[in-house]
Amino acid sequence: MAKKDNSQKIKELMSEPTKIRNMGIVAHIDHGKTTLSDSLLSGAGMLSEKVAGEARALDFLEEEQERGITIQASNISMIHTFKGQEFMINLIDTPGHVDFGGDVTRAMRAVDGALVVLCAVEGAMPQTETVLRQALKERVKPVLFINKVDRLIKELKLKPEEMQQRFIHWINSVNELIKTYAPKDKLAEWLVQVGDGSVAFGSAIDKWALSLPAMHERGLTFKDIIEAYNSDDKEKVQELAKKAPLHEILLDMAITHFPNPKQAQQYRIPTIWKGDLESDVGKALLACSSVGPLILEVTKVTVDEYGEVATGRIFSGKLKQGDTVKLVKGGREERIQQVAMYKGNQRVTIDEAIAGNIVAIVGLKDTFSGETISNIMIEPFEAISHIFEPVVTKAVEAKNPKDLPKLIEVLRGIEKEDPTIRIQINEETGEHLMSGLGELHLEWIEQKIQKYKGVEIQTSEPIVVYRESVTKTSPEAEGKSPNKHNKFYLIVEPLDASVYDALRNGKLENMDIKPKDKEIWKEFHELGMDKDEARAVKSLYESCAFLDMTKGIVQIREVLPMVIDAFKEIVRSGPLSREPVIGVKVKLMDVKLHEDAIHRGPAQVLPAVREGIRVAFEHAAPIMFEPVREIRIDSPVEVMGALTKLVQSRRGSILDMDQTDRYLVMMAKMPVAESFGFTSELRSASSGRAVWSLKDVRFEQLPHSMQTDVITKIRERKGLAQTQY
């Protein structure tokens, strides 16, 4: 089938939200997402059948083709006919490698349904859990496609009963994840089941798929599938693709099981937007109204020869070329130069788009993923937060000093394009730090800076960013202002574990709390915090909390914003080694202020509070935390001894082992500082037969014997004076 242009028909369907399905394809790396996307495009007439499965049409970056992995999410709009009606499907193919998981996170804000792809041989892997967890957090409904069924027949030689047992096991494992992470009000209807057709089986490479409804409708059984493969007749396998084309089965499943935007926004909006749902804006968002105010969220930013291109989901109203819109978080206005729909690496210009659509926008300068676009000032959408924090860092500098201003500009742009990259620019010391989710993530960003941004750079060896915290409550510490007229009395202590977990898991977010925010007090109390302390919380910032415990201080409202600013400075750059602070509660107990406001300005308050927190921190048994990866290693049993030795040699420990006659699944944890180069050593130790994948990242206390040495090295690298802790 040759490619055909269906742009005009797509434009027509964009005006009918009930005929739209917004869906993402998510999976662990190498489980077949991009091959599957090729088959879907081929079935929609947008890609030749001859190259489908090999073209990797949505991996249009040169690096993606070379590496054979998806690096960034790709959008495409297609048409599918179901029961005589035409539907428009906005498809996002997402990366499977954990280092590029931020793109999955952002894509999930834009879509309403997730096609979870699972390898029939490997089953649910760590990244399967991560992407499914992120989808469910965004209230995105899942369905399941078990791919690579051909391998069970050709390679493992499984009998029909054995295949059935394996399928049941994989479906149950996915449903266990759904039970853990799905919204409670959606749990019953979101579990995937063979009986209702929310589970399909097939082979993306051979372009066939089956669900139970399709089996009944087309008169096919698994016996037919097994016979076709066992016959060694390629034509019989090709016949399967004609009787049960993969694109028909899976897109039928998407139309049947995924909600249209009007249905989805009724239950998604209360989670992703915290404004008044009873207001006109709230009602327009819940209804996915095309006549309400324009409200759009940017989910991705890229830069091409035309400048910045923002991808966004329209949740309300209508977006037209030439519109002047407000960037709500940025606090300014911009003019829309162009509105377009996506066709892979191409964009097709359209005049306008209404609520329910995912579009490309040209003309928004200095925007970022998570920005709210509107024609009125409204409450912005909730921040898009990825499950894992960036834990691998490199120092970066321009090879040519004259490129330094351009490098700074490029680094700031990179941070907008990819919010999972953290950039620290210190113009005083000239040190620029770039933190990412892993070594491959940073390697890709380095290539991007040089190849696509045109700045020659040199980078350091990977650096680990540690965290600072405390283990006990400090005595009250005094901080004096430089003019000696203002005094602040502070206590530092460990943050309640339940509150810290809620911040880490995204149940609570960074916020400055106002007296009107009474609901949050109740939330703190439910988490086990004392009632008086719950009402005293004034700021949550990067897994730390600031409490105002003062009573009867007349000028406290005037100085409190400055006190909170000083608290945030310390959290960003802790007292031990200027590393970020986690799990700390800072309590302002009392203040003595000069009567004249001119003597209690920022130049007096900020250093006084910083000094008070620093002194209290030093007397609260300060400690360092290091990032630790929990990993899964899949390997043959015979290399178990070599792998155990390798993990333990890197200060790691074995958490669990699941062993069969031939295969071993090992769960282990390993400090990030010891993990660089682990992949190549693992290949060497197992003769290339073992692979590892990331399950979780958390921070654990650095062994006490290593703390002084680590602090000394960090301070030395940062050019700080050495201090004994």
Give the CA dihedral 671, 676, 677, 683, nearest 10 degrees.
40
Domain boundary among the residues 568, 602, 620 is at: 620
Any domain includes 4:
no
Determine what percent of the chain is predicted with pLDDT higher than 90: 48
Cα 85 to Cα 81: distance, rounded to the nearest angstrom: 5
Give the pLDDT of residue 437. Answer: 85
Give residue 438's domain range. Answer: 392-464
Asked, for residue 11, whether it belongs to a domain, the answer is no
Which of 259, 278, 298 represents a domain boundary (last residue)? 259
State how many domains the chain has.
5
pLDDT tens-digit profile of 393-452? 888 888 888 888 888 888 888 887 788 888 887 665 566 888 888 888 888 888 888 876
- Residue 423's domain is classified under what CATH number? 3.30.70.870
For range 556-575, the mean pLDDT: 92
Q: Does a structural domain hold residue 251?
A: yes
pLDDT at 48 over 70: no
Residues 445 and 407 occupy one common structural domain? yes
314 & 406 share domain? no
Strands (E) in 487-621, as ranges, are 487-494, 511-512, 537-541, 544-548, 584-592
Do residues 139 and 183 lie in contact, with contact meaning Cβ atoms separated by under 8 Å? yes
Do 365 and 269 sit in the same domain of this protein? yes
pLDDT for residue 69 is more than 70: no
* Structure confidence at residue 191 (pLDDT): 96
Indicate if 243 and 140 belong to the same structural domain: yes
Q: Do 513 and 488 share a domain, yes or no?
A: yes
Rounded distance, CA 352 to CA 296, Å? Answer: 13
Question: pLDDT tens, 353-407?
Answer: 999 999 999 988 878 888 999 999 999 998 888 778 888 888 888 888 888 888 8
Please, what's the b/e burial string for 189-227 (b: 16 or more CB within 10 A of its CB; e: otherwise)?
A: ebbbebeebbbbbbbbbbbbbbbbbbbeeeebebebbbe
Residue 272 has pLDDT above 90, yes or no: yes
Distance between CA atoms of residues 526 and 509, nearest Å: 16
Residue 471's nearest CA partner among 704, 222, 180 is 704
Q: Is 381 part of any domain?
A: no
User: What was the pLDDT predicted at 662?
Assistant: 77
Same domain, 290 and 272: yes
The per-residue DSSP string of 385-444 comes to --SSPP-EEEEEEESSGGGHHHHHHHHHHHHHH-TTSEEEE-TTT--EEEEESSHHHHHH
Query: Tokens 């139309």 identify what position?
Result: 255
Check pLDDT > 80 for residue 139: yes
> In terms of DSSP H, where are the helices of 299-365?
none
Q: Specify the pLDDT at position 344.
A: 65
CA distances to 5, 344, 355, 356, 390 from 348, in Å? 11, 10, 18, 18, 35
Q: Give the residue from 443, 464, 485 where a domain finishes.
A: 464
Query: Predicted confidence band at 321 (pLDDT cuts at 50, 70, 90)?
Result: very high
pLDDT in tens, 164-219: 899 999 999 999 999 999 998 999 999 999 999 999 999 998 999 999 999 999 88
Q: At 671, which CATH number?
A: 3.30.70.240
Give dist(CA 73, CA 46) in Å, integer.
18
Question: Domain for residue 8, yes or no?
Answer: no
Biggest CA pair distance of the chain: 93
Q: Is 306 exposed, middle or buried (0-12, 13-18, 19+ CB in 10 A)?
A: exposed
Instruction: Tell me, yes or no, whether 290 and 337 share the same domain.
Output: yes
Are 279 and 323 found together in one domain? yes
Please check whether residues 441 and 497 belong to one and the same domain. no
Same domain, 429 and 483: no
Asked if residue 144 has pLDDT above 80, the reply is: yes
Residue 54's pLDDT is what? 47
Task: Note whether residue 715 is domain-resident.
Answer: no
pLDDT, the chain, mean: 87
What CATH number did the domain enclosing 153 receive?
Answer: 3.40.50.300
Q: How far apart are CA 387 and CA 317, in angstroms?
A: 31
pLDDT, residue 307, reads 73
354 and 323 in contact (C-beta within 8 Å)?
no
Is 70 exceeded by the pLDDT of residue 615?
yes
| Two structure tokens written together for 510 | 């960074």
User: What does the alpha-carbon distance between residue 519 and residue 691 come to, in Å, rounded to a whole number?
Assistant: 46
pLDDT band at 59 (very low <50, low <70, confident <90, very high): very low
Do 611 and 637 sit in the same domain of this protein? no
- Asked if the structure places residue 15 within a domain, the reply is no
Same structural domain, 282 and 136: no
Tokens of 168: 């049941």
pLDDT higher than 50, residue 683: yes
CATH number (domain holding residue 300): 2.40.30.10
Tell me: pLDDT of 88 over 80: yes
